Amino acid sequence: MMENATNTSPATPSAPGERASGDSPILILVDDDAPLRRSLQRAMERRNFQVYTADSLKAGLNLAHSVKPDYAVIDLRLEDGSGIELVKRLRELHPKVRVVILTGYGNIATAVAAVKAGAADYLAKPADADDVINALLATGSSLPPPPANPMSADRVRWEHIQRVFEQCNRNVSETARRLNMHRRTLQRILNKRAPRE
């Protein structure tokens, strides 16, 4: 499903493509989490982006062909496929588009792969609109400012363990071997809830 919205807010962020100074930059937002998508859409419209949204990889690919975006915010894991495919397609069609990937738990290393595929940065979900703006508008080789609430070291460790566990088809023994960790220690970690951000 695709939706689009136009806004009339006065302040205009700088866009990477060639655009008349009075025009709002175009943003594609693709996420199958409807509440988060709507919340981010409203926040970005308030910051004078013209936002087009989609809730699936297929709808996002359709948008990529029908809209010429300056920016894109894409969920890494969509119900019908990987956001990495959309990143690659967007970069082929619109080389100047600046893409930020949103990633949930267990997807940090995959998000790094998305950056290699052409995304400018990645953010852990749920993403704050200000963090998204900072990542989208960062220029050159400079990194955006750190997020207001970055993940703790414990959470980053937990995310990494969860990812390796999934890659090992949830086999505890194989995961423990690959992480060079005692099996019982790993089981204790897997049985606990995720650490607070």
Neighbours of 130 (CB within 10 A): 13
Residues 168 and 174 sit within 8 Å (Cβ to Cβ): yes
1 class by beta-carbon count within 10 Å (0-12 exposed, 13-18 middle, 19+ buried): exposed
**Strand, helix or coil for residue 158:** helix
Eight-state DSSP code of residue 145 = P
Q: Of 125, 32, 38, whose CA–CA distance to 80 is shortest?
A: 32
Inter-axis angle of helices 83-93 and 108-116, nearest 10: 20
Eight-state DSSP code of residue 80 = T
Tell me how far apart the alpha carbons of residues 149 and 130 are, in angstroms, rounded to a whole number: 11
The predicted model scores a pTM of 0.66
Domains present along the chain, CATH in parentheses: 2-137 (3.40.50.2300), 153-191 (1.10.10.60)
| pLDDT tens-digit readout, 116-135 | 888 888 887 777 888 888 88
| pLDDT tens-digit readout, 52-100 | 999 999 999 999 999 999 999 999 888 898 888 999 999 999 999 999 9
